[in-house]
Structure 1
Amino acid sequence: MEPNSLPTEVILTHSCQSLGSVCLDWTPQPGHYFNWQGQTYTVLERRHRYQLKSGRYRLHKISLYVQSVERPEDTTLINGHWVIGDVNCRFNAHSELMRCAVNPSGPCQDCRFFEPS
C-alpha cells in the first residue's frame, strides 16, 4: 500500500451491496465520477471510518456510496469542479449531480426552457 492511500470500500447505494475494496491515491468527493471494473459510478456520499490505536483515533478506511450512471457528455470545468449541462442557461444548477431545476435529466440541447444567463 502506498503511503498516501487508504483502503476504500465501494458500496452501491440503493442495495447497500459492497462492490469491493481498492486503495486510492486521491479522495473522491460527492459528485465526482469513479470508474470501477469497467463501470462508471457517481459518488453520492463519502464516510470515514476511524480506529482507536495507541489511545488515538486514526483514519482507518473510507467508504464510498456510489450509484451507477452514464457519464454525461455535456460537462464543463468551472472553478475546479465539474458542472453538468449548459452553463450559459439561467436554470443551470452549477452542480456535479444535477443539471438544472426545470429539466434535470436533460439534454440541454434544444431545451424549451433555455434562457441565457
Structure 2
Amino acid sequence: MEADSLSTEIILIHPHQTLGKVKLDWMPQPGNYLEFYGQTYTVLERRHRYQLKTGRYQLHQIALYVQCATRPDEKSWIDGRWVIGDASCSYNACSEMIRCAVNPDGPCKSCNFYEKS
C-alpha cells in the first residue's frame, strides 16, 4: 500500500480530539502546516500504525498530532529547510515550530532583542 493512498487521522492535541480522516498526497513532517476544513494546523508529531497481514506488518494508517496555528509571515531558508523568523538573529531557534525564546510570537522586524549572529 502506498503512502499517498493511506488514511491519515488528524488529532488535535489540546483539547484532545479527533478532527477527522483524510487521504493526503504528501507526507507531512513535524513543523509542517496543514490546512484542514479551512483551519491551519501545525504538525507536532506523526505516528505510523501497522497491521499484521499474512505474517508481515504493513503500514495501515498515519496519525498526525496537530495544534491550531497561523502561518508565520517571516521564514528563513536554512540547511535545506524553512525555519520561523529571521535566522540571522542569534536568538533564533532555527526550528520549524518555534521562533525564539525571547520573542516567540514575533515579529522579528521590530524585536528589541535582535542580535546579528
Same fold, TM exceeding 0.5?
A: yes
Tell me the equivalent position of 1:24: 24
Unaligned runs of 5+ in 2: none
1:51 partner SS: strand
2:10 match: secondary structure: strand
Asked if the contact 2:3/2:27 (under 8 Å) is kept, the reply is: no
Corresponding residue for residue 100 of structure 1? 100
Give distance in 1, aligned partners of 2:80 and 2:35.
20
Q: Normalized against structure 2, the TM-score is what?
A: 0.92
Report the Cα distance in structure 1 between the residues aligned to 2:111 and 2:15, rounded to whole angstroms.
33
The residue matched to 1:44 in structure 2 has which SS?
Answer: strand
1:80-112 Cα shifts (integer Å, max 9, x gaps): 321111111111111011101221121111211
Count of aligned pairs between the two proteins: 116
Worse-matched range after superposition: 97-106 or 54-63: 97-106
Cα distance in 2, alignment partners of residues 66 and 4 from structure 1: 19
The percentage of counterpart residues that share the same residue type is 61
C-alpha RMSD of matched pairs (Å) = 1.4
Tell me how far 1:4 sits from its aligned partner: 4.1
Give the C-alpha shift of residue 72 in structure 1: 0.8
Corresponding residue number in structure 1 for 2:91: 91
Q: Distance in 2 between matches of 1:109 and 1:116?
A: 12
Gaps of at least 5 residues in structure 1 are none
What residue in structure 1 maps to residue 15 of structure 2? 15
Partner of residue 61, structure 2: 61
Select between 15-24 and 39-48 the one with higher mean Cα deviation.
15-24
Using the alignment, how far apart are the partners of 2:34 and 2:80 within structure 1?
17
Output the CA distance in 2 between the equivalents of 1:90 and 1:11.
34
Distance in structure 1 (CA, Å) of the matches to 2:45 and 2:92: 22
What is the CA–CA distance in structure 2 between the aligned matches of 1:76 and 1:90, rounded to whole Å? 13
Q: Which position in structure 2 is the counterpart of 1:70?
A: 70
- Measured against aligned partners, the alpha-carbon deviations of 1:27-62 in whole angstroms (never above 9, x if no partner) come to 101100011111110001111100000001110000
Deviation at 1:3, TM superposition (A): 4.4
